[in-house]
Amino acid sequence: MRPTDNHTYNVNEIFYSLQGEGFHAGMPAVFLRLSGCNLHCPFCDTDHATSVPMSIDDIVAEVSRYPSRHIIITGGEPALQIDTEMVDSLHKAGFTIHIETNGTIPLPDGIDWITCSPKDAVCQTPKSRVVLNHIDEIKIVYTGQDVETQISQLPEARHYALQPCSGQNTDDVVDYILAHPRWRLSLQTHKIINIP
């Protein structure tokens, strides 16, 4: 679902907070949550159906109200909507662009940091296969799956983060990381400290 002819994007919400998980946990950032997703993961806790249509000029004006120049584009699945116009406009406004994607849809060039959270182990459909050629960070929600097999077909990433599923299996994740030291623990700190 790329932008329509009048170039509006379906925006779920824009907010300012700390990145709660992964390599950049604790970093102040503006979050641009786009609506819509191409997968239906059983543990997803995100409302990605609600949206407001916004032009790129409206988006840039809104995200520029905040002091951080790091923007995290998330969803749903942001690759359904992000395009070169959005990337160029945000860069022109001085933003470093991070995206959190399931990796099943090619991305436009110019994104500064790509976090891929593959869902093939939980969705188990052909459309959940990762198609990206470059990934900065792989972030996996651990449900007991064979993580090494899950990532074996992915491009090498600079960082690997393993996250408990809804905080329920933290001990299992810690044990896994201790046995596989390239992984780092990723907790959803925004939920722990009760921020958006």
The single residue of 5, 45, 146, 171 carrying the catalytic annotation is: 45
The single residue of 21, 23, 37, 74 carrying the catalytic annotation is: 37
Q: Tell me, yes or no, if 46 is annotated catalytic.
A: yes
Coil, strand or helix at 178: helix
The single residue of 21, 31, 98, 115 carrying the catalytic annotation is: 31
The single residue of 88, 96, 112, 190 carrying the catalytic annotation is: 190
Q: Tell me, yes or no, if 190 is annotated catalytic.
A: yes
Q: Any alpha helices (H) in the chain, and if so which ranges?
A: 56-63, 84-92, 120-123, 147-151, 170-179, 189-192
The single residue of 8, 41, 62, 170 carrying the catalytic annotation is: 41
The single residue of 77, 100, 136, 137 carrying the catalytic annotation is: 100
Q: Tell me, yes or no, if 116 is annotated catalytic.
A: no
Q: Tell me, yes or no, if 100 is annotated catalytic.
A: yes
Tokens (6 digits) for 71:
């923007």
Amino acid (1-letter code) at residue 157: A
The single residue of 4, 46, 50, 125 carrying the catalytic annotation is: 46
Q: Tell me, yes or no, if 45 is annotated catalytic.
A: yes
Q: Tell me, yes or no, if 37 is annotated catalytic.
A: yes
* 49-76 residues labelled b (16+ CB within 10 A) or e (exposed): eebeebebeebbeebeebebebbbbbbb
Q: Which residues are catalytic, by number?
A: 31, 37, 41, 44-46, 100, 190
